[in-house]
Amino acid sequence: MIDALLIYPKLGSMDGMVVDLPLSIIHAASDSVKLGYSINTVDLRCEKGDWKEVLKGCLGQGALLAGLSVMTGTPLRYAREISNFIKSNYPDTKIVWGGPHVTILPETIREPFIDFLIRGFGSRPLSELINILKSRNGNYSEVKGLSYKQNGKAVHNARSPEHEMLYYKDIPYNLIDVNSSMYRRSYMGERLFPIFTSIGCPYRCSFCVSPTVYKAISGPKWKSFQDESVLEHIEYVAEHFNATHICFMDDTSFPDLKRMRVIFEKILERGIKVTLEFRGARVNEIDRMDDDFLDLLVKAGGRVMMVGVESASNRVLKSLQKGITKEQILRVNQKLAHHRGLIPHYNFIYGTPGETYEDLLETKDVVLQLLSDNPKAYFGFGSDWKPIPGSKMLEVAETQYDFVAPKTLDDWIQMDSSDAKTKIVHSWYTRRHNNLIKLMQIASFVVDDKVVRESSSNKTMVFRVLRLLSRIYKPIALFRLRFNFHYLLIEYELWRFMVRIMPYLKMS
């Protein structure tokens, strides 16, 4: 019997395009592996056979504990199926869920197939839980962030007030085959290696999960790893795993520009040959970067900056508490246009409470301006607004628009707009508003040529067809956007069909 099997469930339609390393379960195993516990992992996104047979093979003689990393939406459905299967076939194995969903919704412990929740950071709590289960003393009260059932009642221990800062050599990457061909961006045919260079987020965006997740942290909500540790981490994964494309997975990487300048300078000094992608870059942070800084970033290997714009309506931006303006967005984009090789990838959120059709038209016009001013820029697929318990935006939706927040696990599963049976439509939408959201989402795949540009090295028949369709549809999408012709969106329904079948198509 092993001590714990950590499981990363399928995520849904996105598995057909993006499969990154399951850092959540790798990081969660760190303390347990250091203490010598027997830990196995399985990433069900990478398994081609029947997942039940896969789990039978992984469990073998059983496990003391089975842990699942869980996000809101479709992953909940998979996590529930997995948990019920383990309960039915391995009744002595305890089930623990962790991740952002249970961190903000501790009442999930009421589900009969769950024995424990780990809320917040999980490495130390998981090792302590394993120790208690092995010793059979049954005293869970000292485990920070643990939720459990006692005498039929839910008990929620206080979370740790500190950030979990893992030393890179303690991260057990060996638990996963990091060189698997499954860990790549399908459209790029390139493997991306994600690391964290900081933890947390100092901002208070009203729509975001971060303020709720980091509420329990005392002191600064954002904390960076030391420069030397970041550099050694990059060198380590480059040497041991042949990683050439590193993604800084931080919520935000650039609150401290002096720190990042030092990191870029030392990458060049040490001759580290990697390309860099930044998942967290904010307009207000880029606005503080001068040309010398951006030149240095590009020389050090900087290639993609994922920039959270969310909206280009100043009215909506104020309600989102982004601390940026439309004018600032346009100015930053023009600045980035001067730096060859640097691709800004602008992300948006549509349908936030109170957003109107006129607000979205303003965002649409700015998107077209961004692409005109900077031909290298990418227009990200805009996500639908999702309610986050404890967030200011959910409070606005409930008090001003009579929004009823999800109550059950099934309700939360349906919050996943990509996999939901029907398009999410909120009460403040008009028909035109909803149609324009659909148009902007489907047009985002083609108007910036990113499918053609990013998949050029992928010679599979699937992507050859996608590139052809992209070239054909681009002028149609641009016409629709420019003239606000968002009716008869047959292509949107075709896209939703493609999303559903994409995970089943052979991508390699």
Per-residue pLDDT tens over the stretch 396-421: 999 999 999 999 999 998 887 666 66
- Could you tell me which residues come within 8 angstroms of residue 61 by beta carbon, excluding any fewer than 6 positions away? 1, 2
Residue 24 to residue 30: CA distance in whole angstroms:
10
pTM of the model: 0.92
Nearby residues of 465 by Cβ (< 8 Å), 6 or more positions away: none
Give the model's pLDDT for residue 185.
Answer: 64
CB 185 within 8 A of CB 192: yes
Mean pLDDT over 264-273 rounds to 97
- Alpha-carbon span 207 to 211, nearest angstrom: 9
Residue 81 has a pLDDT of: 97
Beta strands 343-350 and 383-384, pairing class:
parallel
Those residues whose C-beta lies under 8 Å from the C-beta of residue 308, and which sit 6 or more positions away, are 280, 281, 282, 283, 322, 347
Provide the 10 A C-beta neighbour count for residue 91: 9
Q: Where are the domains of the chain?
A: 2-148, 184-504
| Cα 97 from Cα 101, distance rounded (Å) | 9
User: Which structure tokens are listed for 178?
Assistant: 């990091």
CA distances from 368 to 281, 337, 351, 440, 478 (A): 21, 14, 19, 11, 9
pLDDT reported for residue 499: 65
Q: Is the pLDDT of residue 13 over 80?
A: no
Which residue shows structure tokens 């194995």? 93
In this structure, are residues 85 and 55 in contact, taking their beta carbons and an 8 Å threshold? Answer: yes
What percent of the chain stands above pLDDT 90?
A: 78
From CA 84, how far away is CA 10, in angstroms rounded? 16
Bridge partners, 154 (sequence order): 149
pLDDT in tens, 103-157: 999 999 999 999 999 999 999 999 999 999 999 988 999 999 999 999 989 999 9
The radius of gyration of the chain from alpha carbons, rounded to an integer in Å, stands at 23
State how far the Cα of 336 lies from the Cα of 321, in Å rounded to an integer. 24
Q: What CATH class does 2-148 carry?
A: alpha beta
What the block records as the tokens of 47 is 């398994």
* Residue 350: predicted pLDDT: 96
pLDDT score, position 474: 96
What is the pLDDT at residue 422?
66
DSSP code, position 285: H
pLDDT surpassing 50 at residue 328: yes
Predicted local distance difference test score (pLDDT) of residue 306: 96
pLDDT band of 391, cuts 50, 70, 90: confident
pLDDT at 420: 64
Tell me the H-state helices in 226-325: 227-241, 257-269, 283-287, 291-299, 314-320
Q: In which band, very low, low, confident or very high, does the pLDDT at 389 lie, cut at 50, 70 and 90? A: confident
- Continuous segment of H or E residues that includes residue 379: strand 378-379
Query: Can you give the pLDDT at residue 72?
Result: 87
**Most confident listed range (237-246, 311-320, 447-456):** 311-320
Is residue 502 scored above 90 in pLDDT? no
CA distance 415 to 461: 33
pLDDT of 508 > 50? The answer is no
Q: Of the CATH numbers 1.10.10.10, 3.30.750.200, 3.30.160.270, 2.40.10.10, which one belongs to the domain with range 184-504?
A: 3.30.750.200
Q: How far apart are alpha carbons 401 and 387 in whole angstroms?
A: 13
Q: What is the mean pLDDT of the chain?
A: 92
Please state, as a whole number, how many other Cβ atoms lie within 10 Å of the Cβ of residue 234. 25
Cα distances from 379 to residues 19, 69, 375, 443, in angstroms, run 21, 29, 11, 9
Q: What is the pLDDT of residue 192?
A: 86
Looking at residue 188, its pLDDT comes to: 58
CATH topology match: 2-148 vs 184-504: no
Reply yes or no on whether the pLDDT at 507 is more than 60.
no
Specify whether the CB–CB gap between 6 and 23 falls below 8 A.
no
Q: What is the pLDDT of residues 272-306, one digit of tens each?
A: 999 999 999 999 999 999 999 999 999 999 999 99
> How high is the pLDDT of residue 248?
97
